[in-house]
Amino acid sequence: MSKKVKDSHTVMTQLILPNDTNHLGNLMGGVMMRWMDIVCALSGMRHCNGPVVTAAVDHISFNEPIALGSMITLECFVTRAFKTSLEVYVEVFSESFSGVKTKCNEAFFTFVALDEETKKPVKVPAVIPESERELQLYESALRRRELRLIMSGRIDPKDADSLKMLFS
Give the tens place of pLDDT for each residue, 124-160: 999 999 999 999 999 999 999 988 887 777 777 777 6
Tally of domains in the chain: 1
User: Is a pLDDT exceeding 80 seen at residue 35?
Assistant: yes
Is 167 a member of any domain?
no
Tell whether 106 is covered by a domain.
Answer: yes
Question: Is 58 part of any domain?
Answer: yes
Give the pLDDT score at 164: 66
Statement: the pTM of the whole predicted model exceeds 0.85: yes
Note whether residue 146 is domain-resident: no
Query: What is the percent of the chain with per-residue pLDDT over 90, rounded to a whole number?
Result: 77
Task: Check which CATH number belongs to the domain holding 50 and give it.
Answer: 3.10.129.10
Q: Residue 84 domain-assigned?
A: yes
The reply to whether 29 falls in a domain is yes
Q: Would residue 151 count as lying in a domain? A: no
Q: How many CB atoms lie within 10 A of CB 118?
A: 8
Which SS3 state, helix, strand or coil, does residue 73 take? strand
pLDDT of the residue at 138: 97
Domain of 17, in residue numbers: 3-130
Average pLDDT over residues 3-14: 98
